[in-house]
Amino acid sequence: MRILGVDPGLEITGYGVIEAGNRQIKLVEAGVIKTSYKQKLQDRLIEIYDGLIEVIKETLPEIAVIEKIYSHYKHPTTAILMGHTRGVVYLAIRKSNITLFECPAKTVKKSLTGNGNASKEQVARMVQAYLNLKRIPQPLDISDALALAMSHAFKK
């Protein structure tokens, strides 16, 4: 089964596609979609949408996984901007007829490291180990996206 993990961000949206089956996980593709703060919001959102559609067309995932939203009440502007980005990701996935799952960050961390409070770096090291990568994917938005996909694969 091919699984797409997406770590949405307005500046950097990380994505990772894995192939999971027969108790094995293999990396298909991973990367980021970057936008510039100098662009208008609507242009940034279109860039994220178009980039994700391109990834989906190239990799043909059957399932997509996104982190369940969490926002601190002290940062309402960040939450609103994240909502815009997540909406574009949801739209791209739905328009591509892919089943979408949400997964809490603690669940992802626990499934990869055994600790729901693991750091981003600990998760990234486990992604590296599971996928037999020579180095940790950078930026960490990539390993976060791969961790989402891998966590879903581990549930099966």
50 carries an active-site annotation: no
Q: Is the sign of the CA dihedral 2, 150, 12, 46 positive or negative?
A: positive
3-state secondary structure of 19: strand
141 is catalytic: yes
Q: Confirm whether 54 is a catalytic residue.
A: no
| Helix segments in 101-156, DSSP class H | 105-113, 120-130, 140-155
Report in angstroms the alpha-carbon separations of 4 from 45, 118, 152: 19, 22, 10
Which residues are annotated as catalytic?
Answer: 7, 67, 141
